Structure 1
């Protein structure tokens, strides 16, 4: 029989005789029912042999031990850090080729009260104690946050997601190499935020067992998504609940991670896609200052157009539009929000994900909003002004930023028909033009739309053979890789490098290369979206049962394991030292404002395990200029397109036209003024001339006769008489 507790208050007596009140649980636990998933067990049950008990500020918690076998490293050391045998003084304590490591796993730990009921569309409420009876059992994957799981862009979409979505989702998972208090060991901490464009995703797909075996405490965090996490009225009081959830998780880590073997002063905040954007936004937020010492962003850029909603009016309109779809219409905006809060969670998700719900001026309706509180100003503006006023960057910590060679495959994965990887030849020129027109519309490019679309399509058209859909599919992915990732990531790395150290990496590793029968990504796709995460979380070394459900059947090669060993070592070095260079190699230069260094990762052979990759400079700089400069400048022109090298000359010509126009106006003004002054002068002198003429006529009519006037002699005599009279 299921026993549910609706209200539970205990009074206990402490050794000092004081009476203490234990708060009732905020969640509704199911006690000791073997037929359902439980987070509690029968009171008084001791931990099993493969379990571990940890005491925290919120109460005791039980996790599980997981044994990993045949790993080529230990939590304390990597093989690349050992002295080679060829050296005069060989390694005194050589590392075994295969090592067995135990990782302590705690799943489904609540870090805030469930944001349900009256807490919907509200900031997260701090957790007082673990729900249920003590100890809290943390051994099962929790529910994921509300979303449409069918819209998640990922590989293996034919396999149905095993996760259940719920509003009660503010949980985190912890993976630690050592939780023994007696050892006194405290490892650096990596807090990871999953991606999914702030609309989808979950932490359960990214188990941290292999990363923890590298010598760090891994914390995976879930946060509210879509309307549940970012519904806003455009003011500083509403919205950005997802970012607040993340901050609450960071506070939980600060207060409790020492109990799990972590160092609360050595936290690295990392994330993929939307999680990477979030990590950079926390760098810009004064409310997150002091909660982490370094940041990592995989395939995410805070300056990207799709990352935030910069106009408060747009956020307001999106909320009103959702309310209208749900039948919540009122003159008072807060009443609309209150009405939406009464709707069912599935009803709300359907409302803002249905195709008939129009989305204007961004990829999604609900995103982080520039509210002046959580995010003080638009990241692009704040970072450009930061060298002048450092107050806009509260946490200028070291930043690791990276992308995959074909992150734009996300656009393919979003399309369920194309995502099956069988209809890739459906990508034709018409589809490219349609997607590009939608991109231009979502960016609110109201001027010169046709020229913009034509310029973009012409740059990515496969000119040698425009009917080759295979090559066009690759060009299609390149287009969206550059638009959504390459260009904004380059801009973000450049601006952040003005403030602190930035390390940039481009992942070009292609899984199962040379083993076509083992490939789990399409032949025409290179380093795909999330391919760096497959390396980072060590799936090549993880047993199938520890991987995501859609990768249980994947067979990894020896090259995949070599690449994984190098990549996880890069992560380990950065999390530990804020510098990804290997101990035996320091050629990876930090990204500079005028020297855009980056590391190209594409190593597979064992002899390359001692270096992280190949150092290069200015990744796809021509493409970056096309998107960040030429397309932006083209919006202002009402003419046809021009090649990028002519844009600066046209700008100079426009300035010249302006100067000439101003000079012409000045000359016209002077001409009019001169004509006016001349006219006024004529009006003054004409009466005087007429008066003098009248006086002269009167004088001649009085003295001489007509004959004397007409005769030359008479005129001469008259002149003589005039002169004599004057004398």
Structure 2
């Protein structure tokens, strides 16, 4: 039976943000009208598996002022329900028993994967384990052999859904002239439990995404799409997921291009490198739901019989405890692990060893104030954000960033990079924002692109610096915060009932970003829509990123270009810090005056 999942008390984490998000939630109810079905005849698509009845979503106008619409096929199952014995197993492709029978209704969104309610990103609709479904948005008319953009949602691997009412995907399909596909995947412990052994190796949520990509390869031609031009893109946990597919040989051939927004696999997202910690987390989950067993096999057998609501609440409790004990950290308990199958090693090692699918074109980027989201809970007065030296030190102490700068000499080096005058009382808000943002987003992205460089693929880097006047987080001072790019690339402004009413200049910026993203999906080059046309020659041209010429596009009203983004800071995080950590690790083995068995000079 489908049930709405209860929420846990998140007040300790979100107390300073809650009112802002709840006010934003009022807009969600309005936004249900954003993609309402029209009275036009329902379209029907016939695949080799089954026939699907879709719905028509009307959009007011396109950029030429012409009325446009989208044929949407919603809630299509791509895998069998992962329930009973299939819980904690890899997805099984959906088998249709009535392929030659009556068409299947695909006119409404399917179940959302079980999760607790979160005021950051409220997900409406029914929650049920039978949630492995996807949505297909086809522009009308559909271009010949249309490029396909496959969206992987974010949400820290614990919340979210493929199609979200507040940010409908139909404008991108229309203005980009691309087919957009969005899939649900299992979240929290249901999607990312690992026992640290072969019983449940982990990464089930990534396998779900892969199964949905296989569905696209098998079926998208029936919708007018080109299976050889599939671009995967996602933000935050979705961006990290995208880069996991870039690294994994199991996903090779399922897409040709990838866009990683605010997250890559080498970001400190992962807690899955220590198998003893992974196994302990699984054991702790079992204890919370009454599954105390001496082997992984017995533990998982017990967990398969636990009611889904109890399992999700226990999963959320472990996540909440982790966040409270680790402060403003993006490092999260339910996340991808190096299982030896999907990811043969931890992502940083895979990058160092060149284990990257070099035939994939890449676009990646992040925002100037990414870390404003986790820091908000530490602001006593959100209307006047201020962090003094004491609070700054406290945050660093409990933050995962502190593990990277634990040695005093490394901390002194970091102070030289980020703090102008450590003797002066000042507002350390932006200092922490930059430290955390560079450590978690900017510099891992830089390292990922450099490690992926290949003459046969294109790479493009962006840095969003413009804070939208209608932000997801509804704060006037947060800067270009985490997830703010979604307002632009999904064209939310172009619905008259949308809560995101941008200025005229911002609307042009949104249109340009949709064009950059869709052009990249079509050609691997954001500067041209087809292989036959020439690149943009104006100041809008987005230069390639290479190690020798690390150019980037500043996503702002001016759309100007830059070079060597955060070069000094990334030398600290990507070069200086690993060298010193290696030295201290070696010193712990050989003694403080020894290095590699030789006397220090």
Scaled to the shorter chain, the TM-score interval is: 0.7 to 0.9
Q: Tell me the equivalent position of 1:378.
A: 346
Q: Which has the larger displacement, 527-536 or 420-429?
A: 420-429
In structure 2, C-alpha distance between the alignment counterparts of 1:338 and 1:407, rounded to whole Å: 40
Is contact 2:389-2:426 (8 Å) kept?
no
- Give the secondary-structure state (helix, strand or coil) at the position aligned to 1:485: helix
Offset at residue 229 of structure 1 (A): 0.6
Of 227, 238, 248, the match for 1:285: 248
C-alpha spacing 1:191/1:437, structure 2 compared with 1 (3 Å): same
Residue 581 (str. 1) matches residue 537 (str. 2): no
Q: Could you list the per-position Cα deviations for residues 619-673 of structure 1 after superposition, in whole angstroms to 9, with x for gaps in the alignment?
A: 011111222233334446779xxxxxxxxxxxxx987994567xxxxxxxxxxxx
- Give the secondary-structure state (helix, strand or coil) at the position aligned to 1:65: strand
Q: Could you list the per-position Cα deviations for residues 407-446 of structure 1 after superposition, in whole angstroms to 9, with x for gaps in the alignment?
A: 2223136x3x75x983553644333323222234885x6x
Q: Which has the larger displacement, 305-314 or 249-258?
A: 305-314
Q: Tell me the equivalent position of 2:153.
A: 194
For residues 118-517 of structure 1, what are the structure 2 equivalents within 5 Å? Answer: 118-129=85-96, 134-150=102-118, 153=120, 161-178=123-140, 185-205=144-164, 206-213=167-174, 214-236=176-198, 238=200, 239-307=202-270, 309-354=272-317, 355-356=320-321, 363-386=331-354, 392-394=355-357, 396-412=359-375, 415=377, 422=382, 425=385, 427-440=387-400, 443=403, 448=406, 456=414, 460=418, 463=421, 468-469=426-427, 472-498=428-454, 500-512=457-469
Is contact 1:308-1:370 (8 Å) kept?
no
C-alpha spacing 1:147/1:660, structure 2 compared with 1 (3 Å): closer
- Give the secondary-structure state (helix, strand or coil) at the position aligned to 1:567: helix
Offset at residue 367 of structure 1 (A): 1.4
C-alpha spacing 1:543/1:135, structure 2 compared with 1 (3 Å): farther
C-alpha spacing 1:63/1:466, structure 2 compared with 1 (3 Å): farther
Is contact 2:256-2:359 (8 Å) kept?
no
Offset at residue 281 of structure 1 (A): 1.3
Q: Tell me the equivalent position of 2:5.
A: none
Higher relative contact order (CA 8 A, sep 6+): 2
The number of aligned residues is: 539
Offset at residue 465 of structure 1 (A): 9.4
Is contact 1:474-1:525 (8 Å) kept?
no
Is contact 2:82-2:130 (8 Å) kept?
yes
Offset at residue 589 of structure 1 (A): 2.8
- Give the secondary-structure state (helix, strand or coil) at the position aligned to 2:269: helix
- For structure 1, the 5+ residue unaligned runs are 3-46, 73-96, 155-159, 387-391, 545-551, 605-612, 640-652, 662-727
In structure 2, C-alpha distance between the alignment counterparts of 1:380 and 1:357, rounded to whole Å: 23
Residue 596 (str. 1) matches residue 550 (str. 2): yes
In structure 1, C-alpha distance between the alignment counterparts of 2:253 and 2:311, rounded to whole Å: 36
- For structure 2, the 5+ residue unaligned runs are 2-37, 529-533, 586-592
In structure 2, C-alpha distance between the alignment counterparts of 1:383 and 1:396, rounded to whole Å: 15
In structure 2, C-alpha distance between the alignment counterparts of 1:112 and 1:539, rounded to whole Å: 30
Offset at residue 56 of structure 1 (A): 1.8
The Cα RMSD (Å) is: 3.3
Q: Could you list the per-position Cα deviations for residues 105-155 of structure 1 after superposition, in whole angstroms to 9, with x for gaps in the alignment?
A: 1221211111122211111111012899832222223332222332x645x
Q: What TM-score, normalized to structure 2? A: 0.81
Q: What TM-score, normalized to structure 1? A: 0.68
Q: Could you list the per-position Cα deviations for residues 19-77 of structure 1 after superposition, in whole angstroms to 9, with x for gaps in the alignment?
A: xxxxxxxxxxxxxxxxxxxxxxxxxxxx96342111122322111112223321xxxxx
- Give the secondary-structure state (helix, strand or coil) at the position aligned to 1:375: coil
In structure 2, C-alpha distance between the alignment counterparts of 1:519 and 1:342, rounded to whole Å: 38
